[in-house]
């Protein structure tokens, strides 16, 4: 897909631009956007709207051909809702509708003249970002495992965004940033959608090495012997039932000043989660290939970081393995010793993500991080609490952690990749008590996503930390089954904001 920015003046107007399609907006109440009014010299557009052929509801569309006074072959009217200025939610619905129409259109190019500078609580850069991601998301396909590819319409391959001359520079920068983000999200989706017999821990390690070569990242891959030397007994306990070797991946992008403390992203990478001896129900178990979406998110974020050459020190850590049942698998009732020295009674082998993450969270102390954010498809309880709309955000309640939480929440709001802050309080730690070890790996009933976060919190007291539970947002089920690429947008906005603050 080719994106560009276009501005107009008295000689070069939207009405006389040569294009396969020009897109303009319509508001509820039969109102035309400024761009729609500018090209409607014949009154045909106003007449079509007046007839009721398009309501103006956000995302509604009407395609007109050979409109008098317009050089473009087609005019696509798209509903922007009833608010003025337009809400970002309605703008997003409109852009998704445009992207869907463009994907099937016979035109080779198109000009989108929606009110990029007229969206409530948003900048031109943010609306351009929304536009690019909408188009890229619509264009995304995962069919590499099919022997016969599904035919895909050619669609519009060249898209120009019409903006005011004063906004052109910011819009061009946003296009570049948005494409980097889209490429990162596509990698995250691809890794999530790959079957678990292909996307193994070794595959993730190979992907990390290839990306390190492409973008000049530092990379280190630790194998079982090295993990044993580090005394990662908790992580290694999860791998005991699988023949696939575990991998511990470290990526380093040192784009900031040498002495600046890095931001560390930690991803859970269970490439298939059977539940182990505490076997999951068979129905829906195929979706447990998505239990590595935290790892995929870290790799996707690094793909975007590398393309942007982000001026910030960022380290990615991925603990990846399979959780399988066998004669050598960890049993309920086993007690393991974590890298931190704390002992854990494994009451349920299906609560394996926290066993993997706790050693990774101990490992990252060596980097003396400015902040650590772990990303994990950790608990079904988070889906019960928040559904598929918001990622669960957990962190301690003090000034430093409140600031980190606010940064992440703001990044989610700006990108539409939203999160909701959940509590961590000392009372929840009582649910993790064990008669035989320092703690149990599951809590007593109630607040399952919170007790999981409280478990992780015990291993993060040397630095500022936040936990993102993406069990409800990392993938979709049903007919739309597939990885979503979340929360790469949230993380990238968070990191870019940090980079700007450091600058």
Hey, what are 244's tokens? 């696939």
d(CA 18, CA 424): 58
d(CA 296, CA 344): 27
Write down the residue that tokens 């008590």 correspond to.
433
Within 155-284, where are the H helices?
168-193, 201-215, 224-229, 233-239
Hey, what are 65's tokens? 């051909």
Share in percent of the chain as helix, strand, coil (round to 5): 40, 20, 40
d(CA 172, CA 159): 13
d(CA 3, CA 124): 15
Could you say which of 6, 354, 486, 493 is catalytic?
354
Could you say which of 82, 89, 172, 280 is catalytic?
280
DSSP string, 280-303: PPSTTGGGGGGGGHHHHHHHHHHH
- If DSSP codes are grouped into helix, strand and coil, which group holds residue 60? coil
Q: Active-site residue 461, yes or no?
A: no
d(CA 229, CA 210): 26
Which helix (H) or strand (E) covers residue 317, if one does?
strand 313-323
Q: Active-site residue 280, yes or no?
A: yes
Strand partners, 109: 158
Helices 124-139 & 88-104, crossing angle to 10 degrees?
40
CA-only gyration radius of the chain, Å: 25
* Burial category of 424 from C-beta neighbours within 10 Å (exposed 0-12, middle 13-18, buried 19 and up): buried
Neighbours of 461 (CB within 10 A): 11
Are the beta carbons of 302 and 254 closer than 8 angstroms?
A: no
Neighbours of 327 (CB within 10 A): 6
Catalytic residue set: 280, 354
């Amino acid at each position: 897909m080719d994106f560009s920015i276009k501005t107009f003046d008295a000689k070069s107007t939207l009405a006389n631009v040569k294009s396969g399609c020009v897109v303009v907006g319509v508001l509820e109440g039969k109102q035309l956007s400024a761009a729609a009014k500018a090209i409607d010299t014949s009154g045909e557009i106003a007449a079509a709207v007046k007839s009721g052929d398009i309501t103006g509801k956000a995302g509604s569309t009407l395609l007109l051909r050979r409109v008098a006074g317009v050089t473009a072959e087609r005019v696509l009217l798209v509903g922007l809702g009833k608010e003025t200025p337009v809400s970002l939610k309605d703008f997003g619905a409109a852009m998704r509708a445009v992207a869907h129409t463009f994907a099937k259109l016979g035109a080779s190019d198109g000009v989108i003249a929606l009110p990029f500078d007229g969206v409530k609580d948003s900048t031109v850069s943010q609306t351009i970002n929304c536009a690019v991601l909408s188009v890229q998301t619509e264009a995304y396909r995962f069919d590499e495992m099919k022997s016969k590819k599904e035919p895909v319409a050619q669609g519009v391959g060249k898209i120009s965004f019409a903006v005011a001359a004063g906004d052109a520079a910011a819009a061009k920068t946003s296009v570049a940033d948005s494409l980097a983000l889209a490429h990162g999200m596509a990698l995250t989706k691809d890794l999530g959608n790959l079957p678990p017999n292909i996307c193994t821990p070794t595959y993730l390690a190979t992907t990390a090495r290839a990306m390190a070569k492409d973008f000049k990242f530092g990379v280190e891959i630790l194998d079982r012997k090295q993990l044993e030397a580090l005394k990662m007994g908790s992580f290694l306990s999860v791998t005991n039932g699988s023949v696939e070797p575990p991998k511990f991946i470290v990526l380093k992008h040192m784009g900031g000043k040498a002495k600046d403390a890095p931001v560390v992203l930690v991803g859970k990478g269970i490439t298939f989660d059977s539940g182990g001896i505490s076997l999951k129900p068979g129905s829906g178990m195929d979706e447990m290939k998505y239990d590595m979406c935290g790892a995929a998110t870290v790799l996707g974020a690094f793909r975007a970081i590398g393309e942007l050459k982000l001026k910030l020190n960022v380290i990615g850590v991925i603990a990846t393995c399979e959780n399988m049942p066998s004669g050598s698998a960890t049993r309920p009732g086993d007690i393991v010793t974590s890298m931190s020295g704390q002992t854990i009674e494994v009451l349920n082998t299906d609560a394996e993500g926290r066993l993997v993450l706790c050693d990774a969270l101990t490992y990252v102390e060596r980097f003396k991080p400015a902040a650590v954010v772990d990303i994990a498809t950790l608990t079904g309880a988070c889906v019960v609490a928040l559904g598929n709309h918001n990622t669960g955000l957990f962190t301690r309640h003090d000034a430093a952690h409140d600031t980190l939480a606010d940064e992440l929440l703001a990044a989610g709001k700006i990108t539409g990749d939203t999160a909701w802050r959940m509590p961590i309080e000392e009372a929840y730690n009582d649910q993790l008590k064990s008669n035989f070890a320092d703690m149990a790996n599951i809590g007593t009933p109630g607040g399952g996503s919170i007790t999981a976060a409280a478990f992780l919190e015990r291993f993060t007291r040397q630095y500022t930390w936040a936990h993102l539970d993406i069990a409800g947002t990392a993938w979709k089920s049903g007919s739309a089954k597939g990885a979503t690429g979340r929360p790469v947008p949230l993380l990238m906005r968070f990191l870019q904001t940090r980079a700007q603050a450091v600058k």
